[in-house]
Amino acid sequence: MLRRFERLKSWEGVLLVVLIGIVIFNSSMTPHYLQIQNQVNLFQLNIEKIIIVLIMAFIIINAEIDLSVASVMALAGCVMAYLFEKGLPFGLCLFAGLLTGVLTGAFNGFMVSYVRLTSLVVTLSGLIGYRGLAHVLLENRSVGNFPEWFDRLGQQPLVGPFPLALIIFFVLLIIALIILQWSGAGRYVFVIGNNSEVARYSGVNVRRVKMILFIVSGLVSAFAGLLLAARLGSMRGDTAIGTELEVITMVLLGGVSIFGGTGSLYGVLLSILIILNLRNGMGLLNVPGENQTGVIGALLILSVLGPNIGRGVREAWNRRHVQHIRVGEEEKGG
Amino acid sequence: MFKKLMILAVVFTLVLSACAPAATATEAPAQPTELAAPSGEVVKATPGNALNMVFLPKFLGNAVFDQAHEGALEAAAELQNPTELQFLAPASGGAGADQIPIITNATTQGVDAIMLSNNAGDQVAPAAQAARDAGITFVTWDSPIPSAEGEQVFVAQVDFAETGTVMADMARNILGEDGGKFAVLSAGPDSANQNAWIAAMQEVLQDPAYSNLELLEIVYGNDETEKSTQEALALVDKYPDMELIMAPTTVGIAAAAKAMQDEGLCDKVKVSGLGLPAEMVSFVKNGCSPEFALWSFYDLGYLTYYLSYLIASGDLEAVDGAQFEAGRMGEYTITKDPTRPDVDGPLRVLMGPFSQYNADNIDAAVNP
């Protein structure tokens, strides 16, 4: 009982309360909110974003960052569209799109783990460079008319009311949960994020872990780019511009420390749900676009301040509590 | 324990959403109460229909879209629509595809009509089609959906070919009988509208009647005030005998006129093109920009609202040849859109014509 209470004081507890608050508010404010179609739309309108959030959580916990995700999305989609326009078989175009992601990810990873450049700088160049390439490929045009099955997969429900991308998200979520929260590999990610020197001396292959993370990030972003192409039915060079910031917002709001080492996918999942439900609610209530951006911005500030304030309060509480109960058990609180 | 709580919460949400009625069919969208008028007849609007309509420009915080909104509000008041007009748009600076969630949410809300100035090319088409499938009237204005998928009618501001003639005529008026040299300050090199207008103007310049006008160069200010100012000043340095800058963009014309004014060059170099009266009034009065043109965004909003109201009420069918009356603006006809020849069956209403502004009428345009 006491432990549950402890846990609720954590950041996840705060997020859960906020989420429940938003759900109750939305359902009482608009009758459309709880419709199944709206609940599906709520995910579907942001599905590519939240798929990338999963891998971004790994990267930030690992004390790195990948700012190039949205540009990789666009580049992969544009490579696919460009080759498709040139008349290549569609399967090959999709493969080339995914390969684009692997290559950009490998480049980012190589620069970070072997050349030892800061990921902030490397992926910032990626953000600009990959976006530039995407614009070079498609210029100012939009390329579409993909095979019908492709558009249908992106736009129509596949099982019941659920479209393919939504199902993929939940599958990836479970895989990510297993890897990060319960596997040895996940522990490496945390250990490196806490202190990569210590990790290296304890025999963890830091470079390989980072390399793999960036490659997967590129691949997942490229995959998300293809999903987006299917959902929108066409591709442009400026597609998904600015998405990286929303992705990072969701990860940070989920309680992942920007300095790495701490955070959990439970918190990230809650923050995804919070932002999606908040956006959806504001959309249904016709809140103007600028105010929506303002609210999300305020959330991000909260997310950076919140866990710190939370920790401070918790520590103060613990100190008082410990004094009240017993002095000998301090180590357990660690 | 905490995980269990979370799972509980998620299950709770899912159950809640499953229990909710699949669709609240309580708000009956305005069904066609009478048959659409037979062809050949000019359809007039019946005031007082309660229609939930969404006016969706490219983004917020742009003067021309605010004017279009005011025009739409005037039409709404005239038609006595008791339901308030929703004015929704992404924040400026966002991606074009930011319009998609707004369309999808409007579809969820079961609105009666969406009026879109498209900023996302064909990427809005699936969302627009979903709205159409839900029985929502979908009209575009200012900027159409290229494939016309999901779009019923496009309300075009002016005929793009006419823009070329208007600009060439203004250049001739300003440069006088003996002609002269001028340059074009456009938006971006990829701006489709501007490129079409400039091409139309170059075609007009081929005519012997314009033979004493010489186009020196086309430069691009990317619709940014800073860049447009620099480009305008660079033109002055580069071409000492240039007498006119023609800017077919509201940002470019205002930036160029201000640059000439600030540098005290207005006696030598005039500025003209497409501009907003409110932003140009001082430059018209001090002679920096004696003459410019634009269509009225106010009227564009008004006409778009009228058309959408008529279609959503079921009084007007969006077919080639259908005629309707748009209040004070008079009669219009829906026709095939000749600007999108390679697309299947796009329809448009052409608002036209240009409004030309000079010292005589600028005050009236700013304070109607």
Q: What is the ipTM of this complex?
A: 0.81
pLDDT, residue A80, reads 97
Please, which pLDDT band fits residue B368 given cuts at 50, 70 and 90? low
Question: Which region among A56-70, A91-105, B325-339 has the lowest average model confidence (pLDDT)?
Answer: B325-339
Residue A231 · residue A44 · CB < 8 Å: yes
Query: Chain A within 8 Å of B90 (Cβ-Cβ)?
Result: yes
Q: How many CB atoms lie within 10 A of CB B222?
A: 18
- How close A60 gets to chain B, by Cα (Å)? 23
What percentage of chain B carries pLDDT values higher than 90? 60
What is Dmax (Cα atoms) for chain A? 75
Residues 117-146 of chain A with CB under 8 A from chain B are 139-140, 142, 144
Q: What percent of chain A has pLDDT over 90?
A: 64
- Least confident range of A176-190, A269-283, A303-317, B208-222: A303-317
C-alpha B359: how far from chain center: 25
Q: With an 8 Å Cβ cutoff, is A24 touching chain B? A: no
Chain A residue numbers with beta carbons less than 8 Å from the beta carbon of B9 are: 16, 19-20
What chain B residue is nearest to A141 in terms of C-alpha separation?
B121
Quote the pLDDT of residue A212: 96
| CB contact residues (below 8 A), chain B span 138-157, against chain A | 146-147
Which pLDDT score is estimated for B337? 87
Task: For B101, name the nearest residue in chain A, comparing CA atoms only.
Answer: A45
Instruction: Please give the CATH topology (third level) of the domain spanning A13-287.
Output: ABC transporter involved in vitamin B12 uptake, BtuC (1.10.3470)
The H-or-E segment that residue A50 falls in is helix A47-61
How far apart CA A172 and CA A104 sit, in angstroms, is 21
CB spacing of B123 vs A232 below 8 angstroms: yes
On whether any CB of chain A is under 8 Å from the CB of B35, the answer is: no
Q: What is the phi/psi pair of residue B183, to 5°?
A: -125, 160
Contact A142, A234 (CB under 8 A): yes
**Minimum-distance CB partner of B60 among A8, A238, A290:** A290
**pLDDT > 50? residue B17:** no
Q: How many CB pairs under 8 A join A and B?
A: 126
- Strand partners for B54: B86, B114
Please state which of the ranges A293-302, A325-334, B150-159, B241-250 shows the lowest mean pLDDT: A325-334
Is the pLDDT at A329 greater than 90, yes or no?
A: no
What's the pLDDT band for B59 if we cut at 50, 70, 90?
A: confident
| Band of pLDDT at residue B29, cut at 50, 70 and 90 | very low
Q: Tell me the chain A residues in contact with residue B23 when contact means C-beta distances shorter than 8 Å.
A: 35, 37
Could you give the domains of chain B? 24-158+296-353 (3.40.50.2300), 160-294 (3.40.50.2300)
Select from B6, B88, B90 the Cβ nearest to the Cβ of A266.
Answer: B6
> What pLDDT, on a 0 to 100 scale, did the predictor assign at position A318?
75
- Note whether B123 contacts A293, CB cutoff 8 Å: no
Contact at CB, A144 and B9, closer than 8 angstroms? no
Q: Would you kindly state where each structural domain of chain A is located, as residue ranges?
A: 13-287, 302-334
**CA-to-CA separations, B176 to B166, B214, B218, B244, B288, in angstroms, rounded:** 15, 13, 21, 11, 16
pLDDT > 70 in chain B, percent: 88
- Positive or negative torsion for Cα B165, B168, B170, B176: negative
pLDDT at B183: 95
CB nearest to B126's CB, from A27, A232, A288: A232
Contact: B91, A8; criterion CB under 8 Å: no
Q: pLDDT tens, A240-284?
A: 988 998 899 899 989 898 899 988 999 999 999 999 999 999 999
Confidence of residue B284 (pLDDT cuts 50, 70, 90): very high
Interchain CB distance below 8 Å, B24 and A3: no
Q: Is the pLDDT of residue B238 over 90?
A: yes
Chain B residues in contact with A30 (beta carbon < 8 A): 109
Contact A81, A307 (CB under 8 A): no
User: Using 50, 70 and 90 to split pLDDT, how confident is the model at B343?
Assistant: confident
Query: Which of A12, A140, A245, A264 to mutate against chain B (most B CBs within 10 Å)?
Result: A140
- Quick check: B18 contacting A, CB < 8 Å? yes
